[in-house]
Amino acid sequence: MRKMKKFFSIFGTILLLLIALALIFNQPIKEYAVKRISERNLTTLTAKKVKENQKKSGQFDFNKVKPISASQVAKASVNNDAAVIGKMAVPSVNLKLPIVVGLSDNALSTGGGTMKENEKMGKSNYALAGHYMTNKGALFSPLENAQIGNLAYITDMHRVYTYKIYFKKIVPPTAVYLLDDVKGQSILTLITCADGGTNRWALQGSLVSNQPANKGTLAVFS
């Protein structure tokens, strides 16, 4: 038994190293790996898993967020324990991602991370952050091409919330006021890097629909 454990430990280490090396030397491979992580979490998500993951805590320190790295993606590929609590979609730019708790490396290698503790879908200002990789690439990269008037969707597998984008702008990292709640309004805020990480793309949408999650309403995330 001890020999078997040692074998699997060594095998896992070698596998992680090989994945990391492949990602370091090939950006397309890194983006492909990230997409596979996201797709795996999207296709296996259930309402039961969401309920379990909503109880988990996350990391919400913006200062600890680092650019996505090869080692980060490799680790998430081998052992992904991100707490997935929903799905998001912006069909106009073909963005479909898991929603995860917090801003940890593992979370942001998987999908869009909640930016504040105890956020509630469809309530106040629901803010999500995600990595930008390359134009038309993985994670939040497609948001660069989103337009005012496009629809964005989020779901906790119980309800589907539809937002209409009314704001899109490059802002400095100090524009944290965009995360503030606005009395009487239900907003979706999406944040990702711009200008090579110097600034941020910020998009906001207003809630226009709140429907039960069923085969029809969940089709937008497939």
Answer yes or no: are the C-beta atoms of 140 and 130 closer than 8 Å.
yes
Among candidates 212, 198, 103, which has minimal Cα distance to 156? Answer: 212
HEC sequence for 39-102 = HHHHHHCCHHHHHHHCCCCCCCCHHHCCCCCHHHHHHHHHCCCCCEEEEEEEHHHCEEEEEECC
Among candidates 123, 128, 135, 130, which has minimal Cα distance to 185? Answer: 123
Given the residues 87, 96, 131, 200, the one annotated as active site: 131
The rounded distance, in Å, linking the Cα atoms of 158 and 22 is: 39
Answer yes or no: are the C-beta atoms of 157 and 95 closer than 8 Å.
no
Q: Is 158 a catalytic residue?
A: no
Q: Is 55 a catalytic residue?
A: no
The rounded distance, in Å, linking the Cα atoms of 29 and 6 is: 29
Given the residues 154, 178, 190, 193, the one annotated as active site: 193
Tally Cβ neighbours within 10 Å of residue 45: 21
Cite the active site residues.
131, 193
